[in-house]
Structure 1
């Protein structure tokens, strides 16, 4: 191996006889040599990525497939080792072929690292730096076997399939609106609004094809089911959120309707009286009967006393 500089190679392996040996070969020497020029600069911005998704066992979403990509930079630090183990094993070895080989090494190490350190894709954001450092440490030893030093290594992204991304978005939506029940209520109302908008557009058009009619029918069927479910959901939410109230007849405070005593003044709310006219049972503090309008309690006017004949009035006694 020659270092940097200018070198002269001669083919006089057998002095004086070289010309005789090369005569039958039309001047070509039978002792051939191959010269490899190895560039030892740092090669930057080399890209790596998963050609096929990596199968990953997720604690939240079970078996999913992950894709990943990033960049790295390398430098050839042992030219002899590089030529003997990598380049010299094939007649033609291009830069693209070397990159494909190194990419395969990286993906193999990434699969092992994900299985050992990650439980769920939901934890990926906080493990990016650790995964990058761990993957660089493992791949660096593999690269050095071929005389290559892994200078830099960066993971740009590790992404699940589109279906899993939608599930993650829906889960975030549930947490944002306060739970699964409220999320389904929101989605049902949104679906009804979309179906209503689609129905108006279909009515305004002059005609639809069979596929459009079938899609509209499916949409109306789903809308009918949601329409039957939504009132019950809303009534349940309203019933759980609103409690009936009443007013205390003594201090006028708003109190629960099923209270037996006023929590503000302690007034007994269970005392009752009967209407003298229609015999309806009423609270003791009632002033009028809501059934017949009879005035009750102390506010009722006393009956007029019967008039007695005045003395000296009437017919004169005989």
Structure 2
């Protein structure tokens, strides 16, 4: 191996991440056996954030852009590694790329029925499901609180935890909403906003945010659905009754306008 091959393997000049997946949240730049050359180029693409970590401590964070890695734009790493003025030697640091794009059309649902107390039916068990979107808002916090030292962290690794948070907050929000079970199907948008607002503080602790949350369906117990069907039928009957009354009133008006015709019709 020539000296140029050795140097190209020892020092890394370009640090970047080209994501070819649809579910990767965090990817660690592979540095085993390599040093980062002073003055190396760091490329952070739109929808990414680069986080430098030194001996387990989060250092400098870079938003999208093109950077030349020097002491002037690595102030925290410079302090942590005690670099002297004029330092230009290769250095080692873990570099994590964090995706800040929106991960949409994620599914959630109640594995077991949620118990709530309805003013009309008393204790009622319901089920619900829907979709949500998630994205990283604070890359450094997300690394510390969730990812740790995982070199490639995917959406699947956090989806179960997110669903548990959603179901727990959904149960609390729907119980406190005071919306009767018979009206829930017509108020899914309001329920979605209530749940999203309740979840936001907990997600913020993990460096996440939920830009979308939807309740697509709420399944009621069979007994409640029968009552709902009966009330709908009664509503239709009521409409027919009013229509019959309208027809009778119209007939009486026509008879008053044409008494001879009405008498003739009666004699015939």
Alpha-carbon distance change, 7 to 155 in structure 1, aligned in 2, over 3 angstroms:
farther
Deviation at 1:149, TM superposition (A): 1.6
Q: Distance in 1 between matches of 2:228 and 2:149?
A: 47
Which among 110, 116, 138 is matched to residue 176 of structure 2? Answer: 116
Q: Distance in 1 between matches of 2:68 and 2:160?
A: 33
For structure 2, the 5+ residue unaligned runs are: 1-50, 53-61, 70-80, 82-91, 239-268
Q: Distance in 2 between matches of 1:77 and 1:119?
A: 32
Deviation at 1:63, TM superposition (A): 1.6
Alpha-carbon distance change, 162 to 98 in structure 1, aligned in 2, over 3 angstroms:
same
1:106 corresponding residue in structure 2: 166
Say whether 1:152 aligns with 2:212. Answer: yes
Which among 136, 144, 150 is matched to residue 84 of structure 1? Answer: 144
- Kept after mapping to 1: 8 A contact 2:128/2:218: yes
Alpha-carbon distance change, 172 to 116 in structure 1, aligned in 2, over 3 angstroms:
same
Say whether 1:75 aligns with 2:135. Answer: yes
Q: Distance in 1 between matches of 2:152 and 2:211?
A: 26
Q: Distance in 1 between matches of 2:149 and 2:220?
A: 38
Alpha-carbon distance change, 175 to 41 in structure 1, aligned in 2, over 3 angstroms:
closer
Q: Distance in 1 between matches of 2:182 and 2:208?
A: 35
Alpha-carbon distance change, 7 to 111 in structure 1, aligned in 2, over 3 angstroms:
farther
Say whether 1:57 aligns with 2:117. Answer: yes
Alpha-carbon distance change, 174 to 100 in structure 1, aligned in 2, over 3 angstroms:
same
Identify the structure with bigger relative contact order (alpha carbons < 8 Å, sequence gap 6+): 2
What SS is found at the alignment partner of 1:60?
coil
What SS is found at the alignment partner of 2:191?
helix
- Kept after mapping to 2: 8 A contact 1:59/1:119: no
The structure that has the greater radius of gyration is 1
Alpha-carbon distance change, 80 to 125 in structure 1, aligned in 2, over 3 angstroms:
same
For structure 1, the 5+ residue unaligned runs are: 14-31, 179-318
Q: Deviations over 1:219-246 (max 9, x none)?
A: xxxxxxxxxxxxxxxxxxxxxxxxxxxx
Which among 127, 141, 166 is matched to residue 201 of structure 2? Answer: 141
What SS is found at the alignment partner of 2:182?
helix
When normalised by structure 2's length, the TM-score is: 0.51
2:192 corresponding residue in structure 1: 132
Deviation at 1:71, TM superposition (A): 1.3
What SS is found at the alignment partner of 2:96?
coil
Q: Distance in 2 between matches of 1:177 and 1:45?
A: 41
- Kept after mapping to 1: 8 A contact 2:109/2:128: yes
Q: Distance in 1 between matches of 2:98 and 2:119?
A: 47
When normalised by structure 1's length, the TM-score is: 0.43
Q: Deviations over 1:23-70 (max 9, x none)?
A: xxxxxxxxx976533111111111111111111112222222111111
Between Structure 1 and Structure 2, which shows a larger proportion of strand residues?
Answer: 2
Deviation at 1:134, TM superposition (A): 1.6
Q: Distance in 2 between matches of 1:37 and 1:123?
A: 45
State the Cα RMSD in Å. 3.0
Q: Distance in 1 between matches of 2:208 and 2:228?
A: 40
Aligned length, in residue pairs: 158
Alpha-carbon distance change, 89 to 57 in structure 1, aligned in 2, over 3 angstroms:
farther
Deviation at 1:87, TM superposition (A): 1.4
